[in-house]
């Protein structure tokens, strides 16, 4: 059987004024990804699928985000806001190309799943002209109600227009809809604006479909999955739902989360086997964690690759561009950035390693800093295999420490150190016998005279 083609139109033109933010609503993040990114990732992908995003005027950032996630995305501008059907028709050019299935979704529903989109398409494959997504609301107040006959949709009744009995219905309109692509424009073009707001409502498509003698069907999903985001409070609620999903998925995949409710994950975090994460860990976007790695409490990791059997923290901060080889150890109060630490490297205490490459099995002592910034540019530090850098050392980049080199504690290294060489930069220590006692007498006498 030939696979059906699809066009997904994502409506993302909302200003999000209730968010109280200059950032377009659909660009606010949940689990390290924009609301829009979550929806686009769930939309059908692969051969025979296409994607269109309807944006508002001057929302080039939304178009850029859409193409970042799905480079083949078409974007259309809704210059005036005249209702949901009007927004869909902003993408008329894409609809006219004639996909078998037309899916209509919203850019502010980040919890919707790929599986739900596929379930919504199923009635179209069986001949229906329309399928609408509904949910059982804990509190249906304000939602449009589905008037149904079995699994057939008779009408969508807005709350304000519903009778007393109809308001008791808990099956509510999620807004997401699928139309037979061959009949989509004929349906959409019949939608009028004879209502109090003078807008074109997508929900009117149900009545038009039934007038034509075609079938409209209902597909149900959970209320969580179709949460729309209009306020920062709703954004936080969606984050909570997403984190619960991600934690459950991680544990189902074999990750040990000692206190799951305290761990924050990103939507794109990947795990190997036998990974353990202690309480109060934050993992941002772009993190991959290989087999056997342990992340200790109060660590923060973003855009980092962790090899097998790595140990992180507690209280470690791994910033973008960090890559750790198998068996590497990053200890308490260590920060890394744009750093490659090869297998077996140890940076156990109170150090900063930035814009650096550290060779396998090297040891970086407590308090070591790679001084990578000269006030104008960042510079690289290269540390060879098996090197030893003593405590409280400053490596002033650009500088190269050779294989097997030894840096004495307290050194400020500004010149390259050859393989197997020892470098020590330190003023000569002087001892003044009785100096401490004389110093105390001097200070005490000064205080007496002042009194």
Q: Is the pLDDT of residue 359 over 70?
A: yes
Kindly indicate the confidence band of residue 177, based on its pLDDT and cuts at 50, 70 and 90: very high
Q: Is the pLDDT of residue 266 over 80?
A: yes
**Cβ distance 355 to 380 under 8 Å?**
yes
Q: Which is more confidently placed, 450 or 175?
A: 175
For range 307-315, the mean pLDDT: 98
**What confidence score (pLDDT) does residue 446 get?**
57
What mean pLDDT value characterizes the chain?
94
| Catalytic residue list contains 349 | yes
For range 348-377, the mean pLDDT: 97
**What confidence score (pLDDT) does residue 3 get?**
86
Q: Which residues pair with 306 in a beta bridge?
A: 289, 324
What is the number of alpha carbons within 13 Å of residue 158 lying toward its C-beta?
A: 8
String of DSSP letters for 253-266? TT-EESSGGG-B--
Q: Is the pLDDT of residue 449 over 60?
A: no
Residue of 28, 296, 349, 379 marked catalytic = 349
Secondary structure class of 27 (helix, strand, coil) = helix
Q: Which is more confidently placed, 157 or 274?
A: 274
Domains of the chain: 6-226 (3.90.550.10), 232-423 (2.160.10.10)
110: tokens are 């980040």
Kindly indicate the confidence band of residue 160, based on its pLDDT and cuts at 50, 70 and 90: confident
* Three-state secondary structure readout of 225-236: HHCCCCCHHHHH
Kindly indicate the confidence band of residue 448, based on its pLDDT and cuts at 50, 70 and 90: very low
Q: Is residue 398 reached through a cis peptide bond, with omega within 30 degrees of 0 on the bond before it?
A: yes
Kindly indicate the confidence band of residue 194, based on its pLDDT and cuts at 50, 70 and 90: confident
Distance from C-alpha of 17 to C-alpha of 411, rounded to nearest angstrom: 55
Distance from C-alpha of 108 to C-alpha of 38, rounded to nearest angstrom: 9
Q: Is the pLDDT of residue 362 over 80?
A: yes
Can you list the alpha helix ranges (DSSP code H) found in 90-188? 92-95, 114-125, 184-188
Secondary structure class of 215 (helix, strand, coil) = coil
268: tokens are 């794109």
**What confidence score (pLDDT) does residue 429 get?**
82
Q: How far is CA 358 from CA 155, 309, 403, in A?
A: 66, 18, 10
**What confidence score (pLDDT) does residue 321 get?**
98
Q: Is the pLDDT of residue 229 over 90?
A: yes
* pTM given for the model: 0.89
Distance from C-alpha of 276 to C-alpha of 145, rounded to nearest angstrom: 46
Kindly indicate the confidence band of residue 1, based on its pLDDT and cuts at 50, 70 and 90: very low
Helix axes 35-42, 60-69, angle to 10 degrees: 40
Q: Which is more confidently placed, 61 or 151?
A: 61
40-44, 361-365, 431-435: range with lowest mean pLDDT: 431-435
In this predicted model, what pLDDT tens digit does every residue of 211-224 receive, in sequence order? 999 999 999 999 99
Distance from C-alpha of 221 to C-alpha of 218, rounded to nearest angstrom: 10
For range 389-407, the mean pLDDT: 97
119-133, 328-342, 423-437: range with lowest mean pLDDT: 423-437
Distance from C-alpha of 144 to C-alpha of 204, rounded to nearest angstrom: 12
**What confidence score (pLDDT) does residue 17 get?**
85
The torsion angle over the Cα atoms of residues 446, 448, 449 and 451, rounded to 10 degrees, is 120
């Amino acid at each position: 059987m030939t696979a059906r083609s699809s066009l997904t139109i994502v409506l993302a033109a909302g200003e999000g004024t209730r968010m109280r933010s200059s950032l377009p609503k659909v660009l606010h993040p949940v689990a390290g990804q924009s609301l829009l990114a979550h929806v686009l990732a769930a939309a059908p992908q692969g051969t025979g699928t296409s994607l269109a995003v309807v944006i508002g005027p001057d929302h080039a950032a939304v178009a850029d985000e859409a193409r970042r996630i799905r480079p083949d995305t078409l974007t259309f501008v809704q210059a005036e806001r005249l209702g949901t059907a009007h927004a869909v028709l902003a993408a008329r050019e894409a609809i006219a190309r004639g996909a078998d299935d037309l899916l209509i979704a919203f850019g502010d529903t980040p919890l919707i799943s790929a599986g739900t989109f596929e379930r919504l398409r199923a009635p179209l494959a069986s001949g229906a002209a329309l399928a609408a997504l509904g949910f059982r609301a804990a509190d249906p107040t304000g939602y449009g109600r589905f008037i149904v006959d079995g699994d057939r949709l008779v009408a969508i009744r807005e709350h304000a227009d519903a009778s007393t009995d109809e308001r008791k219905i808990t099956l509510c309109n999620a807004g997401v809809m699928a139309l037979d692509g061959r009949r989509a424009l004929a349906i959409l073009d019949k939608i009028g604006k004879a209502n109090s707001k003078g807008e074109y409502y997508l929900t009117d498509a149900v009545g038009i479909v039934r007038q034509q003698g075609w079938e409209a069907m209902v597909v149900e999903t959970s209320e969580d999955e179709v949460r729309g985001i209009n306020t920062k409070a709703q954004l936080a609620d969606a984050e909570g739902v997403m984190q619960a999903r991600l934690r459950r998925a991680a544990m189902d995949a074999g990750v040990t989360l000692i206190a799951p409710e305290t761990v924050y994950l990103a939507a794109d975090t990947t795990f190997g086997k036998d990974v353990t994460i202690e309480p109060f860990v934050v993992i941002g976007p772009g993190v991959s964690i290989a087999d056997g790695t342990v992340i200790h409490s109060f660590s923060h990791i973003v855009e980092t690759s962790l090899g097998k059997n790595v140990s992180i923290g507690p209280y470690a901060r791994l910033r973008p561009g960090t890559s750790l080889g198998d068996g590497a150890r990053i200890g308490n109060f260590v920060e890394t950035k744009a750093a490659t630490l090869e297998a077996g490297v140890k940076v156990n205490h109170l150090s900063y390693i930035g814009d650096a490459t550290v060779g396998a099995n090297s040891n970086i002592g407590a308090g070591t800093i790679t001084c990578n910034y000269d006030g104008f540019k960042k510079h690289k530090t290269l540390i060879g295999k098996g090197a030893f850098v003593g405590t409280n050392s400053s490596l002033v980049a650009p500088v190269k420490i050779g294989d097997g080199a030894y840096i004495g504690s307290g050194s400020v290294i500004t010149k390259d150190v050859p393989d197997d060489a020892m470098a020590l930069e330190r003023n000569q220590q002087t001892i003044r016998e009785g100096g401490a006692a004389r110093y105390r007498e001097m200070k005490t006498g000064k205080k007496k005279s002042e009194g």
